[in-house]
Chains A and B, each alone.
Chain A
Amino acid sequence: IQVTQVVAVVGAGVVGLSTAVVIAEALPHCSVTVLADRFTPNTTSDGAAGILFASQFPGEQRRWFKRTFDHLLLIASSPEAGVAGVFLSSGWQIFREVPPEKKPYWSDCVLSFGTMTDAELKRFPQYKFGQAFTTIKCECPSYLPWLQKRLEKAGGIMIHEKVTDLAELGLRYDVIVNCSGLGSRELLGDEDVHPVRGQVLRVHAPWLQHFVRVADGHTYIYPGAGGVTLGGTRQAADSQAIFERCRRLEPSLGSARPLGEWVGLRPGRRNPRVERGHVRVHGRRVPVVHNYGHGGWGITLSWGTALDALDLVRQCLNERPPEARL
């Protein structure tokens, strides 16, 4: 007989839920429980515009990005696109100066990547170079509930609980998967994790169909299903300043109606931590799989890092026979 292994996933943002779903669907003999103090719509992921756009981390990011993109592309071309909040988005990334690398590593992961023509650049007179491509927008206020349903269908459950001690969790679970984002700073004492403040405005401007992003990441316009997200910041900034920068790029924003503002803290780290660890519980070692520190690329790397976390969970389960918990 197959004994059910119990897996705890800490965190219910896009990384936690993606990881939980991946595990629950791949390992039917595992019972997955997501524990978090915040669920959608109150997670960091919920405030993000959700435009898939590749990161600048060293290491595995290409594989993580490609796998996430391909997974979301399947949803975007399915009947569920509107329900899941996952759909195609075309637009432009513009540069003030011609960059040394005109074709970044992710250019073949997105759809139809190309250099902007002179006619296309004319709309942005202060910018000398641009890239046009089609990527995916993944809106967490829709996507996270959709993942939650998928998790429940695979037998997973969710519990509202703030986890403050992984050892305590180790008493109750065979494997712990840590997707606590910024919470890892306190939970693990990982001082590499630091909050990177983001501030965005949302406006009603339903005629805007394209994203526009300035390459330095400080200014962007991301049209979505319920509104247009204007950003951004890496530090404190006046929302009027965000609006003005965006309006200079897209003058029709002058006719937009404000919907609200949002401030969130990205779980910044030099790179996402996707690796094994452990926690000591009464002399035993309970395996921990870490999957946190995605900075401003949680959605972009969510499925790819979840798949890597799954591999690590499999390893953990294969190495140790299940022991009775008393």
Chain B
Amino acid sequence: MRVAVIGAGVIGLSTAQCIYERYHSAVSSLSIEVYADRFTPQTTSDGAAGLWQPYLYDNGNTLETKWNKETFDYLLGFLNSPDSIKMGIFLQSGYNLCSDPAPDPSFRDIVLGFRQLAKRELDLFPGYSHGWFNTALMIEGKSYLPWLMNWLKQRGVKFYQRKVSSFQELADSGVEVIINCTGVRSGELQPDPELKPGRGQIIKVSAPWLKHFILTHNFKKGVYNSPYIIPGSRHVTVGGVFQLGNWSEQNSTADHKKIWEEACSLEPSLKHARVMEDWSGLRPVRSRVRLEREMMQFGPVIHNYGHGGYGLTIHWGCALEAARLFGEIIDALKEPCLSDLKEH
């Protein structure tokens, strides 16, 4: 059975992995192919800082909170394995700061060591009156994606670098199940008015004395539009831009200036950091993740896109669900059709 995954960001690759793991022995001659126009290190997942953290509140979307938790627990399990660094997984603690009092975030019980910030700590961040400290995980795309690709290649998964223009095109070539992990450009394969780009820009700097993430939240400005500083294994990511509807992947000088000024206000020692380069990316923003199967005239498609700024954070829970949906498709194919029975 030929299965095609479109998209080679964290969603596409992890979904391919999850389906392979669960079905390669159950499904005879399962062959998985990955199609994408961009591979690591050119994907959106590669540019993200890699901090595991969902948006502060899930607004009742408990399914996504469940997928976030599944991902956290899954990644945590790799911490003591010899592969953890190859995968780009390590612990990191830090600060979430709010300008006004706010209820505890949805991820409070998922992360480690969650607690309220004491006054003495808040004094370190003038302008922020409330906040939390916790230990979370980093999952760096620049390591994780190559690790995933290697894992898949070793198991015979084939990769094709090209832009797929339609689901039909793949179906015509003999693909039986399509997994659509096309992120922000999913609308090109099937229009989706709910999907919009959430443009982000980040500055990579060298500041190796910084060991904590610092995320600020300004409820008037909205998510990610307020400064954040996330140290990584190779550099520190400095950001704070979220422009809904902006498709530009070019770095903007105006955005750089705004990010830099606000970040230096937050962390004065950045004054002596060495600026390396800027990067811009498009978060695939949607009111909720689209994770469902759709029967099209040429066959089944599983959609798995729209993970906003939390793709790395939620990827494994979604991969598990996508694999479950794949299982439903396999089961449906095995069941004899009821109408067939009736006719006989």
Contact = CB atoms under 8 A, between A and B. Distances in A.
Interface residues of A, number: 35
A31 B138 CA distance: 51
A123 interface: yes
Given A79-B269, A210-B91, A111 B118 contact: yes
B222 to A, nearest CB: 27
Contacts of B170: none
Chain B contact residues: helix, strand, loop or mixed: mixed
B90 A252 contact: yes
A88 interface: yes
Contact of B233 (A117, A134, A207): A207
Contacts of A83: 272
Name the residue in B84, B124, B209 with the highest tally of chain A Cβ atoms < 10 Å from its Cβ: B209
13 contacts: A77-B124, A79-B269, A82-B209, A112-B117, A112-B118, A123-B79, A209-B90, A209-B211, A209-B212, A210-B211, A226-B208, A252-B84, A255-B86
Chain A contact residues: helix, strand, loop or mixed: mixed
Interface string A92-123: 00000000000000000001101011011001
A87 to B, nearest CB: 4
A133 to B, nearest CB: 10
A210 B80 CA distance: 15
Given A111-B121, A251-B81, A252-B90, A87 B210 contact: yes
A207 B85 contact: yes
B211 A82 contact: no
Contacts of A117: 112-113
A90 B113 CA distance: 12
**Which 4 residue pairs are nearest across A and B when measured between Cβ atoms?**
A81-B269, A207-B90, A255-B85, A79-B268
Given A123-B79, A132-B113, A251-B81, A111 B120 contact: yes
Nearest to B109: A119
A81 B90 CA distance: 24
Interface residues of B, number: 36
A87 B233 contact: no
Given A119-B112, A123-B80, A209-B93, A78 B133 contact: no
A77 B138 CA distance: 24
A74 B233 CA distance: 26
B82 A81 contact: no
Contacts of A87: 209-211, 269
B177 interface: no
Contacts of B84: 251-252, 255
A120 B135 contact: yes
Contacts of A210: 91, 93, 135, 211
A79 B211 contact: no
A73 B133 CA distance: 18
Name the residue in B84, B211, B233, B273 with the highest tally of chain A Cβ atoms < 10 Å from its Cβ: B211
A225 B115 contact: no
Contacts of A78: 268-269
Name the residue in A78, A90, A226 with the highest tally of chain B Cβ atoms < 10 Å from its Cβ: A90
A117 B112 CA distance: 8
A286 B200 CA distance: 67
B231 interface: yes
Name the residue in B135, B207, B233, B234 with the highest tally of chain A Cβ atoms < 10 Å from its Cβ: B135
B271 interface: yes
Interface of B: 79-82, 84-86, 90-93, 112-113, 115, 117-118, 120-121, 124, 133, 135, 138, 207-212, 231, 233-234, 268-269, 271-273
A89 interface: yes
Name the residue in A82, A83, A114, A255 with the highest tally of chain B Cβ atoms < 10 Å from its Cβ: A82
A206 to B, nearest CB: 5
B115 A112 contact: yes
Given A79-B271, A82-B272, A112-B121, A206 B212 contact: no
A198 interface: no
Nearest to A73: B124
A161 interface: no
Nearest to B133: A112
Given A80-B272, A88-B212, A226-B208, 15 more contacts: A73-B124, A77-B268, A79-B271, A82-B273, A83-B272, A87-B210, A111-B120, A111-B121, A117-B112, A123-B80, A132-B113, A134-B133, A207-B90, A225-B209, A252-B84
